[in-house]
Chain A
């Protein structure tokens, strides 16, 4: 079976681990538990052309306590920048991470705007968001809590990883 490595990157607390848990185990917990280092989960995705096994690298949030590690992107077929629509700063930081990731890999990238179950509390206008999302192959709105958009997003990234 084809195996593809994909990486989830973003500021801390945006919900990277929750997205993976929702996708792989169908579980969500409201309690925030910070990730340290890397955790790799595997899941087989059914695509029209056949099955792909995704190796999802859930990477510790990049912030003042943990810097960007380009080595984790080695061999990645695609990556996602995860942001949290309740925190403006998560988008700014996400874009900074994207900039660093682009310097480290040619893999295609998608943007994920997570926590769609909560009220939008960032203050980006649609125009600004469109400007940012232009930097990505696609942009997804997801909720790790309800599962909304999660399956579609991972399917998309699986397809993207094959290109």
Chain B
């Protein structure tokens, strides 16, 4: 090869060897400055045998030989390695190439490239390590404090090691009561905000909260809904002090789902920011996904407002991301974020923008779709893309969903902060559904959201104050007309004496997790009622409804045992009602749980049968005792042939599987007669009795008993 051509091509700092045969080469071009230290045997020789001087190169030649033997045009690379020459370190990379049937070994000296790459990687890795440390500290303190605060009433009982960690921590920790009154703040919280405790009255927590309120659009939502938040705040103290703070906010809730404490952990990450500033790419881009970061998104949002072109802002929250990190590790979590970002980008047009704006949150500015319907279609494409399975490096399948909130500029607001706040609010509203969904911001949504927050607060208060009553609706044996069972139904009594129907607060309780304490209260109260009821009628059962969330509570069986023991009632008098949805969710887990419940003697009925996923397989395999025919099939029994056919099919199927059948919502004699004629065992409904307070129910039993005597 001509030296002049090589020089003209600008590939000067390399050595090109033509392979003659095994380990034997002809020098085509050689940079003597360094190549001879790698292959001294080549000095003065155009043809030479490569010795074992460089173990790395020697190892690469194994792959290279295989490649040359195949003989197809192309090349393979060794990756960078460092070789010690007499006076300096060489940064090299070897390439085995085949071109027009000839085999070549090219060795590039990458000194310049290495320095450039090292500069970038150095900053990136320092960041990675700093972030790792901050995250690990936050997570550790959070996990320990959560554990301790959930159980203990006060901070006096904080275990010594945790106390020590907090006292000596190089990050600020604030522990507050539910009303955000500080119970404890560590010494670093003061030094972080440069407050001398002895000479100043300034309060670090007040400074922190003011920053949070001013700089975080999610502030109101986070506080009012007791949500977790993770992000950055900037603190500036005139004239010269400014710090970047990394903040983790954790609500600590007790077993009843009630807010007990707030924990705020604040780290000074100014150094990390400084490192980022050294590399502009890192300061505006997320180092996991390479997408623009929150800061970039924010700047782009403000710039777009100046242009006045209409657009949609998307706030996309990846559901249950924390669980994926816990189950598969942070590495898998990072891969997932990268895959999600790639899928999002593939849906965007040139002018649209996608950024990672939080741990598991992405923001999109959508310019390419202009009306809400098109935007809705776009959101559905996002859901479809993200719901397709992901695979970890170890080939495990992961599936995630998303909550999407959308706000429009300028229809919803012309203010950048409000746009983000509204999109966040809409996202939070979308979060209420178990499945992926999109929610557009509207004034009605804001009002509904406000009402919901108020309702949630009232519900928490009602749980604390015990403003609930348990009503019983009799379930009768149709043939004899005798009460054999009662369904326990919760009612919420407001302070003005009026009652709130379950349909109005159970869904909210389910979404907020408050269903768990409510459900426990119901089971407890049903147990107490049974204690009295069995004195009137020993065989009578009380059935209680179990929600999906209660059913996934790992302490459910032990709790049921404790209630049965505490109330001194036979477990056989208790029945659990589940909906079909609960059963198919996780078959193995459900089977185990139902077997445990059955072992105790508690029976199980399937509520609202026929309205959900009617998989018949589970009916055979699971230990179930009764099917409850949903009221929607009973309501039009007189007039609707299809409903009649469904009811008959359910009765026949239940009987063939040796299950009892209970018809719900029986309101007239014709319905009763139809059910009786067709061997439906039992029924409940207003024809017999509406749900009544405990005393009224006992009265009904007394009347029944006296009628039987006559």
Contact = CB atoms under 8 A, between A and B. Distances in A.
B618 interface: no
Contact of A71 (B63, B117, B330, B394): B63
A75 B62 CA distance: 11
A123 interface: yes
Interface in B316-363: 329-331, 334
B59 interface: yes
Interface stretch (A82-90, A130-138, A145-153): A82-90
Interface string A37-55: 1111000000000000001
B329 A64 contact: no
A102 to B, nearest CB: 12
Contact of A38 (B81, B140, B287, B394): B81
A63 B80 CA distance: 16
Given A33-B122, A74-B62, A122-B136, A38 B129 contact: no
A1 interface: no
Interface in A75-96: 75, 86-90, 92-93, 96
A35 B118 CA distance: 8
Highest count of chain B CB atoms <10 Å: which of A12, A32, A75: A12
Contact of B117 (A36, A38, A61, A121): A36
Contact of B56 (A38, A87, A88): A38
Contacts of A122: 136
A96 B329 contact: yes
A5 interface: yes
Contacts of B450: none
B114 A87 contact: no
Contacts of A99: 394
B129 A13 contact: yes
B124 interface: yes
A34 interface: yes
B79 A37 contact: yes
Contacts of B435: none
B55 A37 contact: no
Interface string B282-299: 000001100000000000
A70 interface: no
Nearest to A67: B393
Interface string B121-160: 1101110110011011000100000000000000000000
B46 interface: no
A89 B79 contact: no
B562 interface: no
A89 B125 contact: no
A87 B136 contact: yes
Contacts of B668: none
Contacts of B334: 64
Contacts of B80: 36-38
A87 B132 contact: yes
Nearest to B124: A65
Contacts of A106: none
Contacts of A89: 132, 135-136, 330
Contact of A64 (B63, B82, B288): B288
B128 A63 contact: yes
Interface residues of B, number: 33
A74 B79 CA distance: 15
Contact of A37 (B82, B128, B132): B82
Interface residues of A, number: 33
A12 B131 CA distance: 13
Nearest to B144: A123
Contacts of B82: 35, 37-39
Nearest to A62: B331
A34 B329 contact: no
Contact of A13 (B63, B118, B125, B140): B125
Nearest to B54: A40
A63 B132 CA distance: 12
Nearest to A37: B80
A14 to B, nearest CB: 9
B140 A123 contact: yes
A122 B137 CA distance: 9
A32 B127 CA distance: 12
Contact of A93 (B63, B135, B331): B331
Nearest to A38: B81
Contacts of A63: 125, 128
Contacts of B62: 74
B125 A61 contact: yes
A12 B79 contact: no
A36 B119 CA distance: 11
A37 B81 contact: yes
Interface string B96-131: 000000000000000000100110011011101100
Interface of B: 55-56, 59, 62-63, 79-82, 91, 93, 114, 117-118, 121-122, 124-126, 128-129, 132-133, 135-136, 140, 287-288, 329-331, 334, 394
19 contacts: A5-B55, A13-B125, A34-B122, A36-B117, A36-B121, A38-B56, A38-B80, A38-B82, A39-B81, A40-B55, A61-B125, A64-B287, A64-B334, A65-B124, A65-B125, A71-B63, A88-B136, A92-B331, A96-B329
Given A13-B128, A64-B128, A64-B288, 6 more contacts: A12-B125, A13-B126, A34-B122, A39-B82, A75-B59, A123-B136
